[in-house]
Amino acid sequence: MSTTVRRLGGLLGALAAALLCVLTAGAGTASAHAALTATDPRQGSVVPEAPRQVRLTFSEGVLLGADSVRVLDPKGARVDDGRPAHVDGRSETAAVALRTGIANGTYTVAWQAVSADSHPVAGAFTFSVGAPSATTVKAAVKGTDPVVGTLYDTARYAAYAGFALLVGGCVFAAVCHTGRGVRRVAVGGWVALFLATAALSLLRGAYTSGRGPGAVLDLSLLGDALSSRPGAALLTRLLLLSAAAVVLAVVFGEHARPGGGRRAYAWGLGAGGGLVAAGLAATWAAAEHASAGLQPWVAMPVDVLHLLGVGVWLGGLAALLAALGAEEPLPGGAARRFSRLAFTAVCVLVATGIYQAWRQVGGWAALTGTEYGRWLLVKVGLVGVLVVLAAFSRRWTARIGDRAPARGPRPKAVPEKPGGAAGASPERAAQLARQRAAMAKAAGRRERAADEGRSGLRRAVLAEAVVAVVLLAVTTVLTTTQPGRAETEQKRAGRTDGGPSASAAGPVEARIAYDTGGKDGRGTARVTVAPGRSGTNTVDVTLTDPAGRPVDVPEVAVSFTEKEKGIGPLRAPLKRLSAGRSRASGFQLPMAGRWQLTLTVRTSEIDQVTEIEDVKID
């Protein structure tokens, strides 16, 4: 392999590691997917007498646990009675009964559930019976533990990558070319997908409950998590992987049937492998975005096709790269067959991607006005780059013939002692054998490098693989981001349901000067809370240096505490938008009042400062 290819290979590995770090840096702060759109009693309201139950309505279906809705009196004692349940079987609702005879005062409702698309959501709000009162409740609104979130998102990325390698490697071997390198790609994909799925199954309970790493082996949490639809999907994936292991053994084993039965055997193997691959893809479609929202009966099959297209294309690229770097030369016909196969996969991706974009985004404005839309634009751009690179690969493919590359001069034999190897000691004979093998390997490497067509194709495919690593990372981020259509509907519901957002009050803004004491540690933070009322808000943070230029820092965090009533701190799940800009969407402030805004800025490993400012929320 040439020096250029080795350098690009190192770049690919470094880029993969860097992307995983970026991907998991915000673990535990993923945007909410099921948003609270209405409550009964309304948040912040005063009702004349105690209600029989508290009812919550979400923007999409949620999965409920035994403690999904807790109602606390002014002193912090629970007054809810029984397990929360859906109202009239509607999965987007949750209701819990209240004990009889509760006194007047302000009550806090803390809720925590799992969206139908498998992501945990949580929040809190208050209402009063008779008249508002002072409360000492500390609202226990748990987000995902940062360590658990990092591990979970890493395993999610590894699962997508493993699926692509497994499917792409098997399809490449069945249609184009088989070999040791292709087998390693497919088997490596199987191992990665198995280990990642096992890790996701163990982490699921702690991930959805907001518990730390110590809760991973909590059998009660594990049982609750695996009995849910996402948990069942993970268990199904593990079972399907046992069938995938059989497919791997057949595809790469010596099981080809001779004579007239070969065609029927190939069709049977293709049908069985296709069913296993579709089943694996369905474990994602049945538990994530496709299973919730608009037209799930159409979205789930489309999502399966989309994932299969990703596997055939991106996993096939890895298999092609492995085949090009193997000792045995890759026939030109195999490269051309993969070129046609990749073109078909891209057509499937474009068709299914257009439908998914319409379903998840909803409108042109949401492409730039929502986080999901902006990430989708990044994904579309990366696919465009891949298509351009694929065009260069097709040019190199056309220059590859089916004949083996011309061999250069044979390497000189290692001189032996008089009498030949037969007269040498066993140690000397083994050394000579190793030297001859190394020289033959080096000669083969020079021969492959001298083949201009294969070398050019290898470089082009490796460039595609680099972009594919980025594309998989962006796809993983999209699965943890609230769809643009849901975010738009959430905002619309906040304006029309009579809730706090119906007011015309403007956003709340605080400008906070900070100085961490280190180099380039001085600056100003502008924190905006919109619409600045109790309920759902968007928190924007902009950091600028003394010259007014946007500045990035290793860490910025914002939390809110209501000191008088003892609520908080509630941490805003900030996500980086651009240089110096971060945002938390769907952030819940459960009541009006004077809140203490705590800003933490870290500019280096040791330079950090925390500033406090009071803000008024209506």
Which residues make Cβ contacts (< 8 Å) with residue 351, sequence separation at least 6? none
Overall fold of domain 36-129:
Immunoglobulin-like (2.60.40)
Q: Domain limits of the chain?
A: 36-129, 508-617
Distance CA 376, CA 24 (A): 18
Residue ranges of the chain whose pLDDT lies below 70: 1-34, 116-118, 134-144, 254-266, 289, 292-293, 327, 398-425, 428, 432, 437-454, 486-506
Domain 36-129 and domain 508-617, same fold? Reply is yes
- Cβ atoms 360, 372 nearer than 8 A: yes
Residue carrying the six token digits 């999209």: 478
As a whole number of Å, the end-to-end CA separation of the chain is: 66
Instruction: Return the pLDDT at 31.
Output: 40
Q: How many helices and strands, by DSSP H and E, does the chain display?
A: 14, 18
- Tell which residue, 598, 586, 532, 531, has the closest CA to residue 559: 598
Q: Are 197 and 237 in contact (CB under 8 A)?
A: yes
Instruction: Tell me phi and psi for residue 505, to 5 degrees.
Output: -60, 145
Q: Which residue from 492, 367, 553, 502 is spatially nearest to 59, judged by alpha carbons?
A: 492
Burial class (CB in 10 A: 0-12, 13-18, 19+), 401: exposed
508-617: CATH number? 2.60.40.1930
Angle at 501 between CA 498 and CA 506, to 5 degrees: 140
Q: Name residues whose C-beta falls within 8 Å of residue 501's C-beta, 6 or more positions apart in sequence.
A: 491, 494, 495, 531, 533, 535, 536
**Is this model's pTM higher than 0.85 or not?**
no
Query: The tokens 């067509």 sit on which residue?
Result: 453
